[in-house]
Chain A
Amino acid sequence: MKLLIIEDEEGLRESIEEYFTEAGNICETAVSYPAAMAKIELYRYDCILLDITLPGGNGISILKKLKENNYTDGVLIISAKNSLDDRLQGLDLGADDYLVKPFHLSELKARVSAIIRRKMYNGSNLLIFNELNIDLQAKTVKVHDKPVKFTRKEFDLLIYFIANKGKVISKNAIAEHLWGDGIDLANNFDFIYSHIKNIRKKIVEAGGNDYIQAAYGMGYKFTDQ
């Protein structure tokens, strides 16, 4: 996958770039409005991560420019402006998704994966990972072609893991993904554990591999290595 990261905050930009590059993607970066405009005029990307507040211009103009030229690059707005107007405006103008700072890199990765999946496999919503065959539309999972029943949260979590395969995902990131950031309960990590236990059990019982590893008590890692 080829990505363009338009973000002026160096620390954030580097982290995103590193996270995506390690996962085997090609990342380019732009630190300002003119630099970003120059890039999108020359190259096409699978997904563009677009910050709204940029030195030298507004990210919304970049989005407009893309749409004017009928470029089909996926666009994910990442913005500190948690304003509904911005969000609606961005989505109205054809952005594929909107993520508010601060976010977890794993959440960003899951959203980008979803956008690219939608763009690449128009209509067909199958996500295949080794023996796992997931129908995103019907929300069904097959292990070795045998249907396995997952609850909604387990299904969500499985997709989230696959999008972030090979990465350690913190428990906080998982909790926020499953329950939104309105949740602030001390022992919600226990629920994560029971969900993960269930996912593992269901896959293994259907003859699949156990892909989920606990990582130093901080989080979990989904990997086939």
Chain B
Amino acid sequence: MKLLTLYNRVNIITTIVVMLITGIIYYRAISWILNDQNDKALKVEEDEIFDYVKLNNRLPQVFDSKDQQISFTETSPNSIRREFINTKYRKDKNEYESGRGLISSVRVNGKYYKILIVESKVETEDLIQIIFGITIGVILFLLLVLLVANRLILNRLWQPFYAILKELKLFNIADNQEIAQTFTNIEEFKELSQAATAMSAKAKHDYKDLKAFTENASHELLTPIAVINSKLDTLIQTENFSDRQSKLLTDLYSAVSRLSRLNQSLLLLVKIENKLMTDQQNINLRQLLEEMLMQLEDIFLDKQITVTTNLADKEIIASRYLIEILLNNLIINAVRHNYPGGHIIIKLTADSLIIKNSGDDAPLHEEQIFTRFHKSSGSEGSGLGLTISKQICENFNLSLQYQFQAPYHTFTVIF
């Protein structure tokens, strides 16, 4: 729910409740005041009757006034209790309207009379209605104005918030764009903006540090690996190795070459992420693929893998170095996870490059295969090949997808 909606909802409910309560109280108060006034007028009339009776020792003559009716009725002594009542006021014959009455009693020449003074309440009620109506109208109008104003003002007030939010959504730790300070006079948003800017700067800085660390660490490792490599090359020039020694040396060689490959992959990843590969050029993919397939011919032959190709002409603009790595990774993967006598199908069209290979019957986990150091059991790779491939694709705005359609594992590069 939007803040504004919630705010308005609360606002309206509170206003209505308060309005209802105050309305009732207001109505009661006005009614009471006006009733009181009616009652006073009735009392004045009663006093006049009493004065008249005292002075003249008879009942006053009764006549219809415009808004008061008085009647006397003889009744048994002391049966009347003095009280104000709400009653009907007869305006014309058979036409009544609401009225206020006072019942009282008077004794004249030993006779006991009930006095009923009735006053029309129409004007009072009209007054109440008008007052009440105007008041309600004003309140409703005020409410409407408030709602509209709230909407406008709140929308405007929250503008900096949405601006900051937009910046935060666009924030990408890997690119160079910083979160810009949003200018606002509102203290809270100013703080929020400052905090967001500071946070993004810190995150960027830390990320950069981390990347620099990876790069430096990999770099520093290169020299010792180079030394080990060269020492091994020198060592095997010395004579007379036993079988056991030569086996150990072979293992050492394998481990060192694996270490150096791993290291190079890490360096490459950092470089791709930093977009340091800027040698964009036109690459004929068909030509490149054909060259690579020829280079790998003996590897296919050894594993008795049949390679079927269907290559159309396709040129892309990218770093040749990276595209070679991408294609190499995908093809080598197709060999590595294949079985002897398996198939590889390579199809290049204007829209996509599809590399299919036979292999295990189960699909790979699509989410995991592109993460760093994820390896299927028994894989001799570094676990970085597909990560690098994915990074390369992202770098050139290509998309790399995996699908399993038995019996083929399919990697598709979409241009």
Contact = CB atoms under 8 A, between A and B. Distances in A.
A38 B101 CA distance: 129
A19 B234 contact: yes
Interface string B233-263: 1101100010101110110011011101100
A193 B271 CA distance: 36
A109 B335 CA distance: 31
Given A103-B226, A188-B299, A15 B246 contact: no
Given A82-B267, A185-B336, A12 B230 contact: yes
Nearest to B268: A82
Given A11-B230, A84-B277, A216-B246, A179 B296 contact: yes
Contact of A80 (B222, B258, B276, B279): B222
Q: Residue among A85, A102, A153, A191 with the most chain B CB within 10 A?
A: A102
Contacts of A225: none
Interface stretch (A59-67, A115-123, A135-143, A170-178): A170-178
B296 to A, nearest CB: 7
A24 interface: no
Interface stretch (B17-25, B69-77, B121-129, B324-332): B324-332
Given A16-B230, A101-B226, A102-B229, A84 B236 contact: no
A22 B237 contact: yes
B268 to A, nearest CB: 8
Nearest to B250: A218
B260 to A, nearest CB: 5
B264 A181 contact: yes
Contacts of A179: 295-296, 299
Q: Residue among A172, A176, A179, A181 with the most chain B CB within 10 A?
A: A172
A84 B321 contact: yes
A185 B231 contact: no
Contacts of A15: 227, 230-231, 233-234
A149 B87 CA distance: 132
B339 to A, nearest CB: 13
Contacts of B257: 172, 176, 181
A101 B234 contact: no
A186 interface: yes
Nearest to A181: B261
A216 B267 contact: no
A105 B236 CA distance: 11
A188 B253 CA distance: 14
A187 B302 contact: yes
B226 A9 contact: yes
B54 interface: no
A32 interface: no
Contacts of A173: 233
A12 B225 CA distance: 10
Contact of B233 (A19, A194, A215): A19
Contacts of B276: 83-85
What is the predominant secondary structure among interface residues of chain B facing chain A?
helix
B266 to A, nearest CB: 11
Nearest to B279: A84
B226 A102 contact: yes
B234 A102 contact: no
B157 to A, nearest CB: 51
A18 interface: yes
Given A82-B267, A84-B279, A168 B227 contact: no
B264 to A, nearest CB: 7
Interface string B280-319: 0000000000000001101100100000000000000001
Contacts of A12: 223, 226-227, 230
Contact of A82 (B264, B296, B380): B264
A83 B298 contact: no
Nearest to A81: B219
Contacts of A22: 237
Interface of A: 9, 11-12, 15-16, 18-19, 22, 80-85, 88, 101-106, 153, 167-168, 170-173, 176, 179-188, 190-191, 194-195, 215-219
Interface of B: 219, 222-223, 225-234, 236-237, 241, 243, 245-247, 249-250, 253-254, 256-258, 260-261, 264, 267-268, 271, 276-279, 295-296, 298-299, 302, 319, 321, 325, 328-329, 332, 335-336, 380-382
20 contacts: A12-B226, A12-B227, A15-B231, A15-B233, A19-B234, A80-B219, A82-B268, A83-B276, A88-B279, A101-B222, A101-B225, A102-B225, A168-B236, A168-B237, A181-B257, A184-B382, A187-B302, A191-B299, A218-B241, A218-B250
The 3 closest A-B pairs by CB, nearest first: A15-B230, A102-B226, A216-B246
